């Protein structure tokens, strides 16, 4: 089986490529490297000892994407090619709507014209919005998102549902990720954010390696057990394995299916800082700052459905997530720009 990974050079895509190749599937990567590096492709090949068919292209460019799909004939498309910086999406909403929605429609149109029927989508826990109770269950409605990035995911889920309603042969799997962290255990691929990291774990890793002086913890008077926010952190290789299961599922089913990919166990910001310190024997300097706009106090997944239907479960520990993050960061202090 051959899988086309749109945005496959990025953080989650590169780890998924390794998982798919190791399972004996063929991988095609299409990326414009707007938030990644072609070095990731070399590293994927190095880790797996297998060849990746790679194309540099913008997924919004329908002519190019059509030609690539026609030439490579994938059985399934996984769509990772989104812009994902929440703060930037508030400043530049049109850039986010254009990129995220246009890429989705372009992929669907090319697939329709070429008779490719299986689609796996990188969605997010953010679509549960601000009003649902926790833990989040797939049967809950999508509710109002706090930023344009979140709304693009909300809208893309709707577009995919409508496309599947109109084409009974289409199989769509919506994967709602919680908070992916960690790296492949080899330390050869990992998360390489451009500029100041928006997310917690890359920020901690950059403090550890000396690129940042200290972490600012956004708020310490939330109504949680230690006053800091709680999230459902999941090892990126567990997440990658969820994609393998989703691709196999999509091949055997029709219509739309939604899965949470999380562990079901939340950790607070302080717990993460201390877990990183304990796992790696490094002190992380931090101070408390203002709350960040739009942050919810806590949320985590009900991960039962993925276990029951896909036979998937996250099994790596928070220690492994912290150890593998540091293994990547210490061996690649400047990410792929070494």
Question: Which residues of this chain interact with ligand NAD, rule CB under 6 A?
Answer: 7, 9-13, 31-36, 58-60, 80-84, 99, 103, 122, 124, 177, 180
Q: Which stretch, 110-118, 135-143, 216-224, 313-321, contacts ligand WQD (CB under 6 A)?
A: 216-224
Q: How far is the CB of 285 from ligand WQD (least distance, A)?
A: 13
Q: Which residues are catalytic?
A: 149
Question: Is it true that the peptide bond before 4 is cis, omega within 30 degrees of 0?
Answer: no
Q: 95: which 2 tokens?
A: 């850039």
DSSP letter assigned to residue 326: H
Our finding on whether 301 is near ligand WQD (CB under 6 A) is no
Q: How far is the CB of 50 from ligand WQD (least distance, A)?
A: 29
Q: Which of 212, 292, 305, 330 binds ligand WQD (CB under 6 A)?
A: 292
What is the C-alpha separation between 277 and 281, in angstroms, rounded? 5
Question: For 106, phi and psi rounded to 5 degrees?
Answer: -60, -45
Q: Which stretch, 87-95, 163-171, 184-192, 197-205, contacts ligand WQD (CB under 6 A)?
A: 197-205
Q: How far is the CB of 17 from ligand NAD (least distance, A)?
A: 11
Going by C-alpha positions, the residue among 237, 232, 228 that lies closest to residue 274 is 228
Residue 80 and residue 14 in contact, taking contact as beta carbons nearer than 8 Å: no
Q: How far is the CB of 65 from ligand NAD (least distance, A)?
A: 9
Residue 122 near which of ligand NAD, ligand WQD, none (CB within 5-8 Å, type-dependent): ligand NAD
Our finding on whether 89 is near ligand WQD (CB under 6 A) is no
Q: 15: which 2 tokens?
A: 């780890």
Give the nearer residue to ligand NAD in terms of CB position, either 98 or 254.
98
Residue 101 and residue 160 in contact, taking contact as beta carbons nearer than 8 Å: no
Non-local (6+) Cβ contacts of 259 within 8 A are 138, 173, 174, 175, 176, 242, 246, 305, 306, 309, 310, 312
Our finding on whether 41 is near ligand WQD (CB under 6 A) is no
DSSP letter assigned to residue 285: -
| Chain residues that interact with ligand WQD, rule: CB under 6 A | 84, 86, 124, 126, 179, 198-200, 203, 215-218, 229, 231, 269, 292, 295
């Amino acid at each position: 089986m051959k899988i086309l990974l749109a945005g496959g050079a990025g953080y989650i895509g590169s780890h998924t490529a390794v998982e798919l190749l190791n399972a004996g599937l063929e991988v095609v990567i299409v990326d414009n490297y707007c938030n990644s590096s072609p070095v990731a492709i070399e590293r994927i090949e190095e880790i797996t000892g297998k060849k990746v068919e790679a194309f540099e292209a913008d997924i919004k460019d329908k002519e190019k994407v059509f030609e690539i799909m026609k030439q490579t004939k994938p059985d399934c498309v996984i769509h990772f090619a989104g812009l994902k910086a929440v703060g930037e999406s508030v400043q530049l909403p049109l850039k986010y709507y254009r990129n995220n929605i246009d890429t989705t429609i372009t992929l669907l149109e090319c697939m329709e014209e070429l008779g490719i029927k299986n689609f796996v989508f990188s969605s997010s826990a953010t679509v549960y919005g601000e009003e649902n109770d926790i833990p989040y269950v797939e049967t809950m409605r999508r509710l109002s998102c706090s930023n344009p990035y979140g709304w693009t995911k909300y809208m893309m889920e709707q577009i995919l549902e409508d496309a599947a309603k109109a084409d009974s042969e289409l199989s769509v799997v919506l994967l709602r990720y919680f908070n992916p962290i960690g790296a492949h255990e080899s330390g050869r691929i990992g998360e390489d954010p451009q500029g100041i990291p928006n997310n917690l774990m890359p920020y901690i890793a950059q403090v550890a390696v000396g690129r940042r002086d200290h972490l600012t913890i956004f708020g310490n008077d939330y109504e949680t057990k230690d006053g800091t926010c709680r999230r459902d952190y999941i090892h990126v290789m567990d997440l990658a394995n969820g994609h393998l299961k989703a691709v196999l599922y999509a091949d055997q089913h029709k219509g739309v299916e939604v899965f949470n990919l999380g562990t079901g166990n939340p950790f607070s910001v302080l717990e993460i800082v201390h877990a990183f310190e304990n796992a790696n024997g490094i002190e992380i300097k931090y101070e408390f700052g203002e709350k960040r706009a739009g942050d919810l106090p806590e949320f985590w997944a009900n991960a039962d459905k993925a276990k029951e239907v896909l036979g998937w479960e996250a099994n790596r520990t928070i220690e492994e997530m912290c150890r593998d993050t540091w293994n990547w960061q210490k061996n690649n202090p400047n990410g792929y720009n070494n």
